[in-house]
Amino acid sequence: MLEIKGVLQEQTERVISVTKNKFTKTLPTPFTNKMGITFQTVGECILFSTFHEGMHLETIKRIYKSTINK
């Protein structure tokens, strides 16, 4: 659990350093995910990725809550 927390805390700096001044950059080829959403820019990918990570976090929270209430 501590390892995951550490990686997530460092994630902000990694994303900033890799994407600095690139949010509006057009992707070489548009990317369409399994949901049918097409991304044209780096920023669109980052925005969706943040949303998607939030879904994972909610799942982790639910699993955690289910284990402490037993």
pLDDT in tens, 22-67: 889 999 999 999 999 999 999 999 899 889 999 999 999 999 988 8
Q: Which two tokens stand for residue 69?
A: 């209430």
Of the pLDDT bands very low, low, confident and very high (cuts 50, 70, 90), residue 70 is: low
Residue 32 CB contacts under 8 Å (≥ 6 apart), including other chains? 38, 39
Closest CA to 43 of 66, 62, 20: 20
Whole-number pLDDT of residue 4: 86
Closest CA to 46 of 20, 7, 28: 20
